[in-house]
Amino acid sequence: MSDPVKIYPARPTKVYFYATCLVDLFFPDAGLAGVQLLEREGIQVLFPQNQTCCGQPAYSSGFNDQAREVILPQLDLFPEDYPIVVPSGSCAGMMRQHYPELFAGTPQAAQAEALAARTWELTDFLLQVCQIKLQDRGQPIKVAMHTSCSARREMGIAAVGPALLGQLAQVELVEQARPAECCGFGGTFALRHEEISGAMVKDKAEALVAAGAEQFVTTDCGCMMNIAGYAAKQKLPLQGQHIVSFLWERTQGEAS
């Protein structure tokens, strides 16, 4: 369940950056853009080199012991009391919402609780903590926003992406039908239930195209891979991009 009340920290001088597996392996531009946006806000970004998976694939498949094995070495990677920012609502949701219950009753319980409490999804952190102000330098474009299920329900940030895009004068945010519906990715769900997942992503991609979007942006790379991959396979006129890459490209070089 999402936090009943979010208590945002004061604007820090330093943050830890947790990149996620998909950013690291497939979309490093999103990680770099996130770092650049934070640094442009005057925040020093610390990147622990030994970070790996957040443990979500094992956890969501019911393998709690294996999830703890993956997570355990990483609990020591963030020793100082700085916020941990994550360019993924899904991974941030895993860390913030599920680490405490996963490590309850273990010697690491307090450490997991403390780490969870200072974990924030990146766009939420930029908007609410940094209070970022964006000046658009791009050409006119119609864009749709897709917020992942975890970002929407676990992190409570459905309004954050549209608020950031709303600062960009040349960006027209178009509304897709049923914006809260899942794209069908769901991590291992897409592998275990291929036909259902395929029907869901078909509905999502077609809804984005029908809304008149030239491209869509999202907080999560898994959703982006799923929707953009389907669109490419079906030759739909739809491109996908992580929202932080989009924000950096539109405002590159502009100090807040």
CATH of the domain at 174: 3.40.50.1860
| 5 located within any domain | no
Three-class secondary structure of residue 111 per DSSP: helix
Are 146 and 216 within one domain? yes
pLDDT for 192? 81
124 part of a folded domain: yes
170 three-class SS: coil
Taking residue 76's Cβ as centre, other Cβ atoms within 10 Å add up to: 12
pLDDT the model gives residue 189: 79
If asked whether residues 183 and 118 sit together in one domain, one would say no
Alpha carbon distance 155, 158 (integer Å):
8
Question: Of 129, 153, 183, which closes a domain?
Answer: 129
CB 161 within 8 A of CB 147: yes
Q: Domain check: are 100 and 158 in the same one?
A: no
Place of tokens 């999830």: 67
CATH number at residue 57: 3.40.50
CA distances, 151 to each of 16, 135, 155 (Å): 19, 25, 5
Kind and range of the H or E element at 84? Answer: strand 84-86
What Rg do the C-alpha atoms of the chain give, in angstroms? 18
Contact 89, 148 (CB under 8 A): yes
Average pLDDT over the chain, rounded to whole?
A: 93
- Residue 177 and residue 97 share a domain: no
Whether the pLDDT of residue 72 is over 70: the answer is: yes
Do 96 and 146 share a domain, yes or no?
no
Is residue 135 a part of any domain in this protein? no
Last residue of a domain, one of 106, 129, 152: 129
pLDDT for 212? 96
pLDDT recorded at residue 82: 98
Q: Which residues, at least 6 apart from 15, have a Cβ–Cβ distance to it below 8 Å? A: 38, 43, 44, 45, 46, 82, 83, 84, 85, 125
Pair 87, 151 in one domain: no
Model confidence at 1, pLDDT cuts 50, 70, 90, reads very low
* Parent domain of 37: 14-129
Number of domains making up the chain? 2
Q: Is the pLDDT of residue 167 over 90?
A: yes
